Amino acid sequence: MNSYVWTPAGTDITIRWRMLGWVPPSEQAIYREKWKYYQELPMRKLDEVGRQKYEEVLRRANVARIK
């Protein structure tokens, strides 16, 4: 750990973390499944027309969804 490497400001530190084996949560299946579950909660009690309206509202608001 004594091998400090200086990097200029604005360097993306996640590149170095990835070299050491780190994987961001957005790329891990367990976290993607978790957030998909919570995104779908509001639609559980909606009928087909309600789901379509809900999806349209999300599209107009530019809400990113996990597919």
Rounded distance between C-alpha atoms, residue 36 and residue 28, angstroms:
12
**pLDDT at site 1:** 59
pLDDT at 48: 87
Asked if residues 58 and 67 have their Cβ atoms less than 8 Å apart, the reply is: no
Give the predicted TM-score (pTM) of the model. 0.56
pLDDT exceeds cutoff 70 at 3: yes
Q: Read off the pLDDT of residues 5-64 as tens digits, 9 standing for 90 and up.
A: 777 777 788 888 898 999 999 899 999 999 889 988 888 888 889 888 888 888 888 887
Domain residue extents for the chain: 25-67
Distance, CA of 46 to CA of 51 (rounded, Å): 6
